[in-house]
Structure 1
Amino acid sequence: MTENVVYPPVRQLRRGVRVAVDVGGVRVGVAKTDSSGILATPVGTFQRGKNDLSAVVDLVKESDTLEVYVGLPKNMDGTEGKTAKDARKWARRISRMVAPVAVRLIDERLTTVSAHRLLHESGRRENTHRIVVDQVSAVIILENALEFERNTGGLPGIALNGESHD
């Protein structure tokens, strides 16, 4: 007997490049999509407080970016600690620099753990993860945001003004 499987409709994504940022204390990982929002690729890892903001601003300007997603590292219970407050502060700074491009905060619980696991599974030695783990985390943030938009048709994450669509 054949079961009828009903799949949710796949929604058309808005066109435009999306940029995702994993903000760490030392490094900032950056990823972006193609203009169709289909493929998320790592862009680079930048030194926090040196070239991180300018690298993102340059990428947004050269890519005709639709939105910037900044990872919000919440605690497992959903509360926000010091790192989340730091990410919010970074997001507010970049928002002023890339306006009118929207900046949205994306819950990134466990993305770094997932990034380390993916790197390990790909055969990369543990001591070489540090230089790329933030980029992989940014790709995961971006893929999660795209999946949310595809599945719901809504905007992923939280706008800096507190508006939530997830």
Structure 2
Amino acid sequence: MSHTPLEPGGLPRGARLAVDVGMARIGLAASDPDGLVATPVETVPRVLEVGTLVTADVRRIVEVAADRFAAVVYVGLPRHLSGAEGAATADARAFAARLVAALGAAGEGAEVRLVDERMTTVSAHQALYASGRKGRKHRSVIDQAAAVIILQSALDAERASGMRAGELVEATVHDTHG
């Protein structure tokens, strides 16, 4: 019987990734295997190919998850301030579903979970501005900074509850025959 080592809070050990899905870029952040600290990883160009399940951006996230032995990939869910869902929310849900399928196809066991990301980009802009980075220099790192905020929030929620944060994205079977 295999035994997965547990963190002090009772969750299985393993790095966590966070994904901030934008229309042009995707920010990635990762934690250490104990889920203590979120750090920026990279910004991946977004690929908007219709009808393609595993695009280059999804493939890159699967590679990072594999390289880091990720236990969970948190995908930011951009809701309106009221909590309502819009087009960006639907896009993030669809991206998360494609990520689940690609992770499964690659034999990676990482869960994909959606977490509320309201205000993360605003917070990231404020933090970067406060650190002395101005306008154009933000663009290259803003998505990573937003992913760090998403991940740190999820890690804090894990520690507070002893459970994974957010909403589990289930694998779905797609009928590809029209």
The interval holding the TM-score normalised by the smaller chain is 0.7 to 0.9
Structure 1, residues 82-106: CA drift from partner, whole Å, max 9, x if none?
Answer: 0000000000001111123210000
Amino acid at match of 1:16: G
The 2-side partners of 1:148 and 1:38 are apart by: 12
State whether structure 2 residue 51 is matched by structure 1 residue 47: no
For 1:18, the aligned partner's letter is R
1:79 aligns with 2:84: yes
Aligned Cα RMSD in Å? 1.4
CA distance in 1, matches of 2:92, 2:85: 10
Q: Could you tell me how far 1:14 is from its partner in structure 2?
A: 3.5
**1:135 is the counterpart of 2:140:** no
* 1:106-145 map, 5 Å: 106-145=115-154
Percent same amino acid at aligned positions? 45
The answer (yes or no) to whether the contact 1:13–1:150 under 8 Å persists in 2 is no
Deviation at 1:12, TM superposition (A): 5.2
Using structure 1 for the length normalisation, give the TM-score: 0.87
CA distance in 2, matches of 1:140, 1:32: 11
Count of residues in correspondence between the two structures: 152
Q: Structure 1 unaligned segments of length 5 or more: list them.
A: 1-9, 162-166
How far apart, CA to CA, are the structure 2 residues paired with 1:13 and 1:135?
25
Q: How does 1:84-95 map to 2 (within 5 A)?
A: 84-95=89-100
- Deviation at residue 13 of structure 1 after TM alignment: 5.0
4+ runs of 1 displaced by more than 6 Å?
none
- Where do 5+ consecutive residues of structure 2 fail to align? 1-7, 48-54, 171-178
* Aligned counterpart for 1:17 among listed residues 15, 18, 24: 15
How does the TM-score come out when normalised to structure 2?
0.81
For each residue in 1:27-61, what CA deviation from the matched residue of structure 2 results, as whole angstroms up to 9, or x when unmatched?
Answer: 00001011111121111101101632121010111
Matched, 1:26 2:24: yes
**Structure 1 position 103 matched with structure 2 position 107:** no
